[in-house]
Amino acid sequence: MDKEFFIYVLISCIKILIVFGVIQFMIISMIWIERKVMAHMQVRLGPMRVGPHGLLQPIADGIKLLFKEDIIPERADKLLFVLAPAMSLVPALITFAVIPFGDKVQIFGYSVDLVITDINIGFLYIFAVGSLGIYGIVMAGWASNNKYSLLGGIRASAQMISYELTLGISLIGVIMLTGSLSLVDIVNAQAKLWNIVLQPVGFFIYAISALAEVNRTPFDLPEAESELVAGYHTEYSSMKFAMFFMAEYANMITVSAIAVTFFLGGWQGPFLPPVAWFMIKLSCCLFCFIWLRSTYPRLRYDQLMHLGWKFLLPLSLLNILITGLVMVLKG
Amino acid sequence: MEAYLFYIMAAVAVVSAVYLIFEKNPVYSILYLVMILISIAVLYLLLGAQFIAAVQIIVYAGAIMVLFLFVVMLLNLSAKEELKDALSFQKIPAIVMGIVLLSAIGIILRSKIPLGKQGEYTSAYVHDVGNTQLIGKLLFTKYLLPFEITSILLFIAAIGAIILAKRK
Amino acid sequence: MITVTHYIVLSAILFTLGVVGVLIRRNAIVVFMCIELMLNAVNLSFVAFAHYLHSMNGQLFVFFTMTVAAAEAAVGLAIIVAVFRNKETVNIDDINIMKW
């Protein structure tokens, strides 16, 4: 009993360390990939100086940020100003606790699930944690004592509350088809057919809401540089700024992982090992983020609210209704 | 383990509540309330109410408190605080009344709480079926009418809020 | 061993702190937050009794309470914003006339 518990804790700790390390690595490489891909889409070369094809650029950026002076504005609220970056990074990272990234594997005779923990309210956990991420941004906006930051924070809170609603409702169709809130069950149920085939409207709504939820172009109003300088992180420098940057990329990876789990079959796929399939699908989703960023212009604020409340919300409710009707009619 | 978690969370909740009522800055008050809400959510998990714990964080901490924060930031209340206190004589009686209320509740509690008859949903049964599934089943059978009425209530609240907030 | 009494005592303490907050604070938003604290204290006792009585009813009641709290927050904050537009204050001592 005692020994089993010890091994369980040990395996969990190793899984957490591996997932954490992989996410950190992905964040760092995403920064380089984003600059490179966007540059080539705009017929530029992007970073070329540091290392072959600018491959060492993220390291150079990291060193630069590390050695910059850490400025806290005179009239800022010191405590919240320091806490805010951590408050936005932590929720983005702990969502990964319930996302399955592979099938069961046998290691030294122990059967290990490739998910940190499989809880029966996985879906609710994702939203509970995701809804807390907003505090970091709002607090940063308020604590900076700067009008651009404050405006960015207010915009972020309104936008994230509005789109969290459609984000949650768009996934309910999948929950109805699976009959379980556990993410492992949802992935297992997609062995034959991916949910994107059965729930195309749900995926469409999820994709748009996820873009808005992580404040990426075309929904990057909280940090619109042409009107708000840099939005909520105007006053941040050095590692605190780096943490906001990491939070943005961690959020992107998180929502992509949720999309893969709910709509694109998770780790399911032929020939290649499950973890490889998961990473391939995740990379495709992340590429779409960059693609959209270099394609679309920013929305106006009222357009954003119209889209969320008057188009996406009714559409997602209709999606639930039709899913339910079809399920009843087919028995 | 369970006992330690209870005492830690109870301490966090009570200390945050004390800070909440004596904090001058409304933004900090909101953060203290969020801490109370999260510690209560952990207590719900200890009591085996996973669904309620998740809803507590999604609805309370994630939506209602953000709305409070939004209003405080929009009105920029943090600058001007309660400068003049028209009813300062109220403060001491209020605290005395609080102590009296607490001791009254304590006296009632000492006289052994009569526990009613045990229901059918034992921990093992709930664990087998699933907390969320049971709540869903009850909401759409036994509690269907209240459930529908709350949807009307929310609808009316949404209309009311829009009308109140609209500029003439 | 944690019994139902532990939870009820905690609930009572939080409820009392909520009452004291309502009585001594003058900022309408803080008063509002103390009311939310009182609602939460009662919710905690509901869930505790539901757990120790092997019943589901307490949890469902909490669900309904949360719905009511959400509706209350939406309307209440809208009222506070409307009052602030007219009177430039949220101090409840200054909001003492029914009409202007």
Domain positions in chain B are 1-79
- pLDDT mean over B88-100: 76
C84 vs A137: CA distance, rounded Å: 25
Determine the pLDDT at residue A321.
92
SS3 at position C55 = coil
pLDDT tier, B78 (very low <50, low <70, confident <90, very high otherwise) = low
- pLDDT mean over A80-108: 83
Domain positions in chain C: 4-87
Domain range for A132 is 75-101+118-330
CATH 3.40.50.300 fits C4-87, yes or no: no
A32 vs A30: CA distance, rounded Å: 5
Angle at A45 between CA A44 and CA A48, to 5 degrees: 155
pLDDT at residue A184 tops 60? yes
Give the minimum alpha-carbon distance from C96 to chain B in angstroms, rounded to a whole number.
Answer: 12
Question: Rounded mean pLDDT of chain A?
Answer: 84
Scored b (16 or more CB within 10 A) or e, B54-88 reads: bbbbbbbbbbbbbbbbbbbbebebbeeeeeeeeee
Name the strand (E) or helix (H) holding C98: none
Mutate to test the interface with B, among A82, A87, A138 (most CBs of B within 10 A): A138
Q: Which residue has the tokens 């796929």?
A: A269
- pLDDT mean over B137-160: 90
Largest CA distance in chain A: 66
C25 vs A293: CA distance, rounded Å: 48
- Domains in chain A, number: 1
Structure tokens, C99: 């009409």
Closest CB to C23 among B20, B47, B94: B94
Long-range contacts from B102-106, C-beta under 8 angstroms, 24+ separation: B102/C12, B102/C13, B102/C16, B105/C12, B105/C16, B106/C9, B106/C12
B77 vs B68: CA distance, rounded Å: 11
**Contact (CB<8Å) B66/A138:** yes
Determine the pLDDT at residue B112.
67
Task: Identify residue B142 by its one-letter amino acid code.
Answer: K
The answer to whether position A179 is within a domain reads yes
Task: Tell me the per-residue pLDDT of A278-287, one tens digit each, with 9 for 90 and over.
Answer: 888 888 888 8
Give the single-character DSSP code of A294: T
Structure tokens, A38: 């966007």
Interface of B with A in 46-85 (CB under 8 A): 50-51, 54-55, 57-58, 61-63, 66-67, 69-70, 73-74, 78
Please name the fold of domain B1-79. Four Helix Bundle (Hemerythrin (Met), subunit A) (1.20.120)
The answer to whether position A214 is within a domain reads yes
ipTM of the complex: 0.88
A308 vs A316: CA distance, rounded Å: 10
A150 vs A103: CA distance, rounded Å: 45
Task: Tell me the per-residue pLDDT of A206-235, one tens digit each, with 9 for 90 and over.
Answer: 988 888 888 887 887 777 667 777 777 777
- pLDDT mean over C39-48: 91
The answer to whether position A65 is within a domain reads no
B2 vs B132: CA distance, rounded Å: 22
Structure tokens, C18: 């909520």
- pLDDT mean over A50-58: 81
Determine the pLDDT at residue B39.
93
**Contact (CB<8Å) B77/C27:** yes
Determine the pLDDT at residue B106.
76
Give the minimum alpha-carbon distance from A130 to chain B in angstroms, rounded to a whole number.
Answer: 8
Scored b (16 or more CB within 10 A) or e, B12-33 reads: bbbebbebbbebebbbbbbbbb
Structure tokens, B43: 């207590």
Angle at A266 between CA A260 and CA A268, to 5 degrees: 140
Closest CB to C62 among B13, B52, B161: B52
DSSP string covering A78-131, please?
HHHHHHHHHHHHHHHHHGGGG---S--EEETTEEE-SSS---TTHHHHHHHHHH
pLDDT tier, A173 (very low <50, low <70, confident <90, very high otherwise) = confident
Q: How many residue pairs bridge chain B and chain C with CB atoms within 8 Å of each other?
A: 218
Q: Which of A97-101, B95-99, B135-139 has the lowest mean pLDDT?
A: B95-99
Determine the pLDDT at residue B84.
53
